Amino acid sequence: MKIAGCYHWKHGRKGTGVYWFQQAHDKVRLDRIAQQLFERIGKSVADDNFKQWEGLLELLGSDIGSAGGLEFLHRYRDFKRSLQQALEGRTGEAARQTVEFLIQLMRNPSTPQRFWLPLLHDSVKLLNCKPRPLLNVAETTLLLNKLQELSMAKLRPDFCSNHLPSHALSSVRLALGSNLARAILEEA
């Protein structure tokens, strides 16, 4: 099965290769594939880049095994889909579901730190467009703590920077701060 996976991967049939690696329970190669996807996706998390690798995630299906990186990519895809629906204004439930996906991703240890700011930056429009806060005080505090942890991580020499605008951090901080204020007022 591993040989079949290597053969298909080498010859450009990525989905078939991943299938055979899953059948062989080859966590090492699946994690390596996830790392390659991270490298490609981490350079640019724009929507057109998202569409390029979304097909491969579709081939993976819902049973993605124990590969933490692939689990994160699958959840990230679900978050992006839900965010797109919420921003298109299809349903109010989609906005709440998107927030739940965001919180799950931020709490999950398999979410790489370099994706924290893109996840939060993607959510800024969602956090700002609703009259009522989508996050409660505890959830907002969690995200603010992650943002603070990210700010501290930027000081380390091994920090992996993403290609977001320079104002991304401050716009996320402002959106979370205003959401926190609205959440405090609503709980009171």
Question: pLDDT digit string (tens) for 139-178?
Answer: 999 999 998 888 887 766 665 666 666 788 889 999 999 9
pLDDT in the model for residue 133: 84
Inform me whether the pLDDT recorded for 71 exceeds 90. Answer: no
pLDDT in the model for residue 100: 93
DSSP-assigned states of every residue in 50-116: HHHHHHHHHHH-S--TT-HHHHHHHHHHHHHHHHHHHHTTS-HHHHHHHHHHHHHHHH-TTS-GGGH
Using the Cα atoms of residue 80, residue 83, residue 88 and residue 94 in order, give the sign of their dihedral.
positive
**Lowest mean pLDDT across 47-61, 82-96, 162-176:** 47-61
Inform me whether the pLDDT recorded for 134 exceeds 80. Answer: yes
The pLDDT mean for the chain works out to 79
Q: Which are the contacts of 20, defined by CB distance < 8 A and separation ≥ 6?
A: 1, 2, 4, 5, 8
Please tell me the pTM assigned to this model.
0.74
